[in-house]
């Protein structure tokens, strides 16, 4: 029973981690919370759903389609809702935040119009395949979800900390003016960040579709709140914090639902956040509070 | 050879006019200093040259190329590097990563060789290469900031108050370093409040007051100038 719940929890945590990575990357570089990220995840999930359930496409094509659709959406988000604010030298952090809230509302309603209300089944060839290991049922889907989550997190980490591109993004994250005099094209760096974060979001959308076997146009809101909770918990802008925070939240939710009351499941996230903010306000992996920017 | 000419540069932030028609010229023959009190427009002049502030009028030519409206990331590729006021090091990155960022605009294969050379010139940076740059002392930060600027292999180095906040000994080391860099063939435009030290290593200097040039001449003449001695020395 416990082993079963741990596997379920880690699977859910892996998904949360990938969602949180999208938030943490954008926060790291732009210093804003992208409130439209949950809806980008949702669009990725629907692109994947259309390919998987509608066309019966193979899994790699489902991921590719979702990643491309979400990446394109991220590009439009930067081009139409973030860049114009930078051009006008709007310095208030609130402006881009509100801009992304507007985009999130727009996207949710466009999705409702396009796809209709309610749950849409997400079928993959793997959906019902499972095997038993020492009395524990493991769905193939769970292995795929876990494998892809860990791969994405590792790839993002290596990209940020082992490549020249990642080096420049970290420089922009700390001080974009200094990065620019060292030769970094800031608009390009921000575009790369938002598009990459959105692509990870598209992959997360497919993982969610696979995990729950259905998707809905409202899924962006709840997944967005979880993602936000995780980066507050793990430390804003921290890659390790997003992964650890995602896994801890996934496990906590699953264990609470299994051993206590499934009604308290969603409370887990906010209970953990409250606790963390009381004890360690900068988050698990965050920089110390004095160094945190506003 | 004349490297840079700024001609009648006006620039500001919002409604505040920080530069009201400033002209300077920098050649490879001798360090050029810009002196003046706080708020005279010295930093804005360097920011305008580096592309961080867009001039509202006037012209900035670098080796005959108009760079007045160029973006900062393009200007550094022309060969102009800025050591910003307050050093501008990336405190959350290691010393080594700061140096690597200095070479971001390069794509040749000699970057590691240049890092090695910086370590030879600034041994303390080799010792601290894996530490976060935020753990360095003021003098070490200035060394890192200069070394990082040199990593772009500039032909013109802009230095904004490199001696600010440094103990006299560390400041002298920085001035000696600037002389050495210039002796190796890099043109230098130095902005300083420490007028005496700056004039001692410069060939030519400009004095700014409220965003306009009020005086210019050879460093030797300015050091003897009564008015200068009264206001700045």
Can you tell me the ipTM of this complex? 0.93
Query: Looking at the predicted structure, is the pLDDT value of residue A290 above 70?
Result: no
A178 lies within 8 A of chain B by CB: yes
Q: State the DSSP string of B47-115.
A: HHHHTSS--SEEEEEETTEE-TT--HHHHHHHTEEEE-TT----TTSBHHHHHHHHTTT--STTHHHHH
Q: What is the pLDDT of residues B137-161, one digit of tens each?
A: 999 999 999 999 999 999 999 999 9
pLDDT of residue A81: 93
Exposed (0-12), middle (13-18) or buried (19+): which is A261, by Cβ within 10 Å? Answer: exposed
Q: What percentage of chain A carries pLDDT values higher than 70?
A: 97
SS3 at position B35: strand
Residue A293 pLDDT class (50, 70, 90 cuts): very low
What number of C-beta contacts closer than 8 Å exist between A and B?
67
Question: A174 and B93: CB-CB below 8 Å?
Answer: yes
Chain A residues within 8 A of B50 when measuring between CB atoms: 181
Q: What is the pLDDT of residues A210-225, one digit of tens each?
A: 988 889 999 998 888 8
Q: What is the mean pLDDT of residues A139-165?
A: 90
Question: B77 and A186: CB-CB below 8 Å?
Answer: no
A167 lies within 8 A of chain B by CB: yes
Chain A closest-CA separation from residue B52 CA (Å): 7
- The model's pTM is 0.88
Q: Which one has a higher pLDDT value, B181 or A137?
A: B181
Weakest mean pLDDT among A9-18, A190-199, A259-268: A259-268
Which chain A residue shows the shortest CA-CA distance from B96? A167
Bridge partners, B10 (sequence order): B20, B57
Chain B residues within 8 A of A177 when measuring between CB atoms: 52, 72, 88
Residue B129 pLDDT class (50, 70, 90 cuts): very high
Q: Which one has a higher pLDDT value, A200 or A222?
A: A200
Which chain A residue shows the shortest CA-CA distance from B149? A182
Weakest mean pLDDT among A77-91, A265-279, B79-93: A265-279
A186 lies within 8 A of chain B by CB: yes
Q: Which one has a higher pLDDT value, A134 or A8?
A: A8
Q: Which of B71, B76, B92 is facing A182, going by the closest CB pair?
A: B76
Exposed (0-12), middle (13-18) or buried (19+): which is B112, by Cβ within 10 Å? Answer: exposed
- Contacts of residue A21, defined as CB under 8 A and 6 or more positions apart, other chains included, come to A152, A153, A156, A197, A200, A239, A242, A243
Chain A residues within 8 A of B75 when measuring between CB atoms: 181
Q: Which of B71, B91, B101 is facing A182, going by the closest CB pair?
A: B101
pLDDT of residue B177: 94
A160 lies within 8 A of chain B by CB: no
Question: B90 and A183: CB-CB below 8 Å?
Answer: no
Question: A180 and B52: CB-CB below 8 Å?
Answer: yes
pLDDT of residue A3: 83
Q: Which one has a higher pLDDT value, A4 or B207?
A: B207
Q: Which one has a higher pLDDT value, B47 or A278?
A: B47
pLDDT of residue B228: 73
Query: Looking at the predicted structure, is the pLDDT value of residue B89 above 90?
Result: yes
Q: What is the pLDDT of residues B55-88, one digit of tens each?
A: 999 999 999 999 999 999 999 999 999 999 988 9
pLDDT of residue B232: 67
Query: Looking at the predicted structure, is the pLDDT value of residue A125 above 80?
Result: no
pLDDT of residue B233: 60
Residue A140 pLDDT class (50, 70, 90 cuts): confident
**Diameter over CA atoms, chain A:** 62
Q: What is the mean pLDDT of residues A187-193?
A: 95
Chain B residues within 8 A of A179 when measuring between CB atoms: 101
Location of structure tokens 């300077």: B24
Q: Which of B81, B86, B90, B102 to mutate to test the interface with A (most CBs of A within 10 A)?
A: B90
pLDDT of residue A294: 31
pLDDT of residue A47: 95
């Amino acid at each position: 029973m416990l082993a079963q719940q741990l596997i379920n929890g880690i699977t859910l945590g892996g998904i949360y981690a990938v969602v949180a990575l999208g938030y943490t990357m954008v926060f790291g570089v732009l210093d804003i919370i992208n409130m439209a990220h949950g809806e980008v995840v949702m669009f990725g999930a629907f692109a994947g759903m259309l390919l998987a359930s509608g066309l019966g496409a193979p899994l790699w094509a489902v991921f590719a389609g979702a990643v491309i659709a979400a990446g394109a959406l991220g590009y439009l988000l930067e081009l139409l809702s973030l860049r114009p604010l930078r051009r006008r030298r709007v310095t208030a952090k609130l402006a881009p935040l509100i801009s992304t809230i507007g985009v999130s509302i727009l996207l949710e309603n466009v999705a409702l119009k396009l796809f209709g209300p309610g749950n849409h089944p997400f079928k993959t060839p793997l959906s019902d395949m499972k095997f038993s290991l020492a009395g524990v049922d493991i769905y193939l889907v769970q292995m795929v979800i876990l494998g892809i989550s860990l791969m994405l997190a590792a790839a993002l980490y290596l990209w940020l900390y082992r490549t020249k591109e990642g080096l420049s993004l970290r420089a922009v994250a700390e001080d974009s003016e200094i990065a620019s005099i060292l030769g970094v094209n800031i608009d390009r760096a921000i575009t790369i960040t938002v598009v990459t974060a959105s692509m990870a979001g598209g992959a997360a959308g497919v993982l969610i579709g696979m995990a729950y076997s259905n998707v809905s146009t409202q899924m962006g809101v709840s997944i967005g709140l979880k993602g936000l909770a995780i980066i507050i918990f793990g430390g804003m802008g921290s890659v390790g914090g997003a992964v650890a925070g995602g896994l801890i939240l996934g496990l906590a939710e699953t264990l609470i639902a299994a051993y206590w009351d499934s009604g308290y499941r969603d409370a887990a996230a906010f209970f953990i956040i409250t606790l963390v903010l009381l004890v360690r306000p900068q988050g698990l992996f965050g920089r110390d509070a004095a160094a945190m920017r506003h | 050879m004349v490297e840079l000419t700024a001609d009648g540069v006006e620039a500001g932030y919002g409604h505040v006019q920080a530069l009201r028609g400033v002209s300077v010229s920098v050649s490879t023959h001798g360090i050029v200093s810009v002196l003046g009190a706080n708020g005279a427009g010295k930093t804005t002049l360097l920011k305008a040259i580096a592309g961080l502030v867009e001039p509202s009028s006037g012209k900035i030519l670098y080796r005959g190329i108009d760079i007045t409206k160029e973006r900062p990331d393009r200007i550094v590729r022309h060969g102009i590097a800025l050591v910003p006021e307050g050093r501008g090091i990336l405190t959350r990155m290691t010393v080594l990563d700061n140096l690597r960022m200095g070479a971001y605009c390069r794509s040749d294969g000699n970057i590691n060789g240049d890092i090695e050379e910086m370590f030879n010139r600034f041994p303390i940076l080799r010792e601290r290469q894996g530490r976060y740059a935020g753990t360095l002392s003021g003098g070490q930060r200035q060394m890192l900031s200069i070394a990082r600027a040199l990593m772009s292999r500039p032909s013109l180095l802009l230095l904004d108050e490199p001696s600010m906040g440094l103990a006299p000994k560390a400041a002298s080391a920085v001035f000696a370093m600037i002389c050495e860099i210039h002796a190796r063939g890099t043109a230098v435009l130095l902005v300083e409040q420490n007028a005496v030290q700056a004039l001692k290593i410069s060939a030519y200097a400009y004095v700014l007051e409220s965003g306009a040039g009020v005086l210019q001449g050879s460093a030797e003449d300015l050091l003897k100038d009564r008015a200068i001695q009264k206001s700045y020395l």
